[in-house]
Structure 1
Amino acid sequence: MATTSAAYQATKGGPLDVDKAFYDRVSRTPEGRELVDSFIIPIRSGRAWEVPAGHLCRVVTVDGPQVGDFNVWNLNDPRERLWAARTRQLQRAHVSTYDRLWSNLPFLRPLLTITDDTLAAYGTDAEGGRVHDLLGTRCDPYVNRMLTGEDFDFHCHSNLVRAVLPYGLTEFDVHDVLNVFQCTGLNEHDQYFMKDCPARPGDHFEFFAELDLLCALSTCPGGDLSVPMWGPGAHDPIEVCNPIGIEVYKVEPELLQGWSSPERAAYRNLHGMVRPQWQS
């Protein structure tokens, strides 16, 4: 069967052409990194943290399979944040090594580049499931109330809201997520499905910060998603919840030679409007 070409094509030397040799050098030189921050995010909670430009960050399954809902902003201007829909178009619906997470308009630039993924070999399973999902978004208490008639305050949306409050951000700043370690796809009816998380203790997802980043992650209350949270057979899956570890590494300057943070989009933001002469 013929393969339909992607709508957004990478051309040699263009903005979608990733310098794989650079990211391989940064990621695969363990002696060229220094651990500068590490912590554990407990089950059913969230935390925000900073990753300076040019640093590496690793998300690790500590004790067992666990899905993490991830948000990311420009630390210095949180109006710039992950644009999940455009990232799906420019990269893939399920991301892995060398893919990038792109920011919203009017910025439109890579916030980070994925440098290592121990689940990259998972590929596509028999049901069409893939990992590190951009198809869906975070679970939230509003949908939960709609479906069950009950309130629950530890969905990923709420965990992320609490996590970013110390940075002066609110519920309106929380956005569509990257579901790290989550296995999802579309069924024969074009409906979104979730499967058991394939991660095991020590699996990790690592990225390189292209800008100074504010990151936040929720340890999903669904845990490894092996137990349905809604519908027939649903119950509280707390027994399949595990913590997630975060590690931030400083990269030796020699490894960063030739790299610089990407500039924001070059479009002049006029949108067909003409400036008054007195503004010329």
Structure 2
Amino acid sequence: MFESNEPVGIIPPRSGAAFELEAGDELTVIDPEGGQVADLLAVSREDIREMLSSGRTLDYAERIYLTTHDKLYSNRSNVMLEIVEDTVGRHDFLLTPCSEATFRLCYDNEPPHPGCHGNLAAALRPYGIEEDAIPVAFNCFMNVPVDGQTGKFRVLPPLSKAGDRIVFKARMDLVIGLTACSAPASNGGSFKPIHYSVRRAEDSQ
């Protein structure tokens, strides 16, 4: 089980939150019960038009599965976050946040839900970030294997166990949006909370 002296934020199932990081801060995203995805979005505090970019990041990494020592880039090719610890090793940076349309088009028997896209939009609205600006998020713990021959992918339950975590170091001042994912397929059919903690740069000196 994850242990930390830092205060732990709790994101209830199928909801989201937003908060700020300073350059040098460390953000730990924790799956307290196991098998739960967390969508993470980073936005530059200096200019909210600069956001996390899946395309730039995967292009520079030359692979789709990112883990410890990999950097997450913005749409302007600046490093926003660096992964400094990862106890799972399987996350997704291909699929867009689930949304109202996801539930309408992909789930026949699920009631309408705003999904991670709607939850990110609500959490980030006070920072002036418009819903249509939200890009592909980094999907912590999401398990999306891709067939090397056909390119077909599947969404399988996360490999994360209770207490697993991924730790990011902020490389610029950021606004972070973070969710406990709402899509049944992404989370093995159940919905659980996500925890997070922030270690401030000045506290680690």
| TM-score, normalization by structure 1 | 0.65
Structure 2 CA distance for partners of 1:223 and 1:64, relative to 1, 3 Å: farther
Q: Distance in 2 between matches of 1:71 and 1:165?
A: 13
Q: Distance in 1 between matches of 2:181 and 2:145?
A: 18
Question: What is the percentage of aligned positions where both structures have the same residue?
Answer: 31
Out of 25, 40, 47, the position equivalent to 1:55 is 25
Q: Distance in 2 between matches of 1:95 and 1:254?
A: 25
Corresponding position of 1:98: 69
Out of 148, 158, 182, the position equivalent to 2:118 is 158
Q: Distance in 2 between matches of 1:54 and 1:60?
A: 19
Q: Aligned runs of 1:121-200 on 2, under 5 Å?
A: 131-147=90-106, 152-187=112-147, 188-200=149-161
Which residue identity does 1:152 align to in structure 2?
Answer: P
Q: Distance in 2 between matches of 1:44 and 1:184?
A: 20
| TM-score, normalization by structure 2 | 0.88
**Helix, strand or coil: the match of 2:154?**
strand
Residues 13-58 of structure 1: CA distance to partner in whole angstroms, max 9, x if unpaired?
xxxxxxxxxxxxxxxxxxxx973x5310000001111111111110
| Unpaired stretches in structure 2, ≥5 consecutive residues | none
**Helix, strand or coil: the match of 1:142?**
helix
Determine if contact 1:67/1:223 at 8 Å carries over to the other structure. Answer: no
The number of residue pairs the alignment matches comes to 200
Out of 175, 183, 200, the position equivalent to 1:214 is 175
> RMSD between aligned alpha carbons?
2.4
- Higher gyration radius (CA): 1
Q: Distance in 2 between matches of 1:178 and 1:39?
A: 19
Q: Does 1:41 align with 2:11?
A: yes
**Helix, strand or coil: the match of 1:220?**
coil
Structure 2 CA distance for partners of 1:85 and 1:34, relative to 1, 3 Å: same
Determine if contact 1:34/1:250 at 8 Å carries over to the other structure. Answer: no
Which residue identity does 1:146 align to in structure 2?
Answer: L
Corresponding position of 1:243: 193
Determine if contact 1:62/1:202 at 8 Å carries over to the other structure. Answer: yes
